[in-house]
Each structure stands twice: as structure tokens, then as C-alpha cells.
Structure 1
């Protein structure tokens, strides 16, 4: 079974950031049957701070880092602070990168964010997408931003479904099966992603 991990950097309880992550995860799991695990970064704040100063993760942080590293797909959701991702969100991935620079290499990632106004929607393109491109993740084309006025309005459910479909397609390509496996979809031959990577290496 595929494993889907959600990293939520929401600070409040309940959190619109967590709600968006849950919706994206449910839509992705509906297509893949993946097992969902949610990591609330706020619960790891103290251990993240200690790791940044002493270089050693506490037990809860180590478990979370292992979950992200072993995931078949990743959904990352952050609230917007000062037109960018939160510092705690960035610190979590700084710790992950310091521990294993290849942890996200080739991993399908769906980026999402929440904020009080639609004016911050470009955070997906100028902050989140470059961060995960630097970590060599495979970021799905559709990012999802939800402003306060988007909840219950038209448009958000469609963006959630489109992004989830893209992530599910990548996760399906990365699932364990023979390297030569192919499947036909709408008249096109779909090549598993790991086989495409292998072809590039050779």
C-alpha cells in the first residue's frame, strides 16, 4: 500500500491549514488507496529547535523525518507569514535536508498554503515551489492556495481535485512494480516514473 504523508504547519486548533491538508489527502487517497499519516509541525517545535542547535533529533522528530523520507507521496501545507512560508515549516525541512540531502529526491510533492487574503497566492510559486525544487522533489503542476473567502466558495474543490489527481498519478507511477511495467490510459502509454529516472541516468 502506498504511504501518503501530510506535513501541516498550522498553529491554531482547529487550523484551516490542517483542514486543507486533510481535504487534499482524502482526495488523493480516494484515487490511490494510500495510507495517510499527518505530521503537525507545531507539535515538533521544541525538538526542531534542539536539533538546529545540537544536530540530534528527538524521538518524535526522528519518527516524523523517517515518515517523510519513506513516503510515496507528500502533501505540504503552510500558513502564509510575511508573504512566505512559516519559519517553523522551513525549519522542519532544513532539519530534514541536513539529515539526508536526498530525502526528497524524486519524491512527488503537492504544495499548498492558506492565508487571509488571495493577494498571497503567489507564495506557491515564489516560495514553496523553489524550496522543493531545490530539495529535488517532483512538485505537481497544480498548487492549492486557500484564502479565507475560498472556504465554501466555488473553485477550491475543483483545485483540490485537480492537484490530488496529479499527485495520485505520480504516486501510482512510483509504486512498486516491475520496471518494465506499462499501462494504457486514454490511448497513451504511461511509463513509471522510476523508469524514466533510470533512463535519464543512463
Structure 2
């Protein structure tokens, strides 16, 4: 079923080759979003990322732990993770769907595994990578496979892709701090955008 999902989501991600949209603020945060941190945090950081993007993995593996300790764990920032699949986009989209299908509260567990083990895609192939993601999901393989075949899962991912396009996202990872884009994904760049908002 995972292999079938990879092929199915290839059709979904064909929209990525479409025309660019005029840049607008990213869509507002809703109950459909996956959020790390307190709902009432004064600063919202929206990240558009892909589970097959090496720069995204660098952020999640090297920068996010320090950013989380400094801002998220202290209640200052909530991080919203949204998917914009990149090459191979069908694999990235299927991985995003596995994360979306995870049990409540387990989305970021799946994301952590996919980002941590991303380099293994080039050596061991996709199956062990997907197996690890499913194992972190808090659901059985059968439950994940049922969710992957649900049209609502594809619609949820499509909404994230369209939101990224509307916001003018040209690559991953891309960040918006309280709706404004941040050019770099370093701790220093994000801190420079976040800290003035905390002093208000």
C-alpha cells in the first residue's frame, strides 16, 4: 500500500509544476495544522518543508533542537509544520501523508524519524524509511494504509501545497514569522525575526 500511495501522490504533486501564484500571507493556522508548542504562544512560525529535502533535514536535525529549547519549550513560539513535497515529490508526498495519518500528537514523531533517517533513502531505499515512519506513527500499518487511501488525506496535503503556492513559497525549507518571510533557516536568522516580537 505504501508503494501504491507513492504512485497515487505522484498525481497530486503534479500541481507543483503549475504557474506561480501572487505572493500572499500564508493561510491562517487552523485545527487541521500540525503545531508544536502552546496554542497561545505570542509568535507563530510557519515552516514549509519536504521530507526529501536535505536542507529541511539539516534544519530539523541541527537547528530545531536549539530553537525548540529556546522558544517552543518556553512557550514563546509555536511551530506550524506544513508540507511542500520536493523531488522525488511522490515519495515526499507519501511520507507527508504517513505523518498526516499518524495518531493524535504523533505527527512530529514521524517527522523526526523521516528527517533523521532521510540520508538512508540513498542507501537502503524507501521501504525501511517508510517502515520507520509507520512505526513512529502510533498506528498499525493497516490503519495507516486505510488512512492513505482516504481522499481526505490527499485533500489535506493538497491544501498545504496550495497554501504554499499562494504564499509564494519557491523552495524548502521556507519560514514565516507572524506571517512575514524569513530568508534563512539558521537559528540566528530566526532569532532575529522572533526576538523583536517578544519585546513588544
Normalised by the length of structure 1, the TM-score is 0.31
- Say which structure is richer in strand: 1
Bigger Rg, structure 1 or 2:
1
Which fold has the larger relative contact order, with Cα–Cα distance below 8 Å and residues 6 or more apart in sequence?
Answer: 2
Normalised by the length of structure 2, the TM-score is 0.31
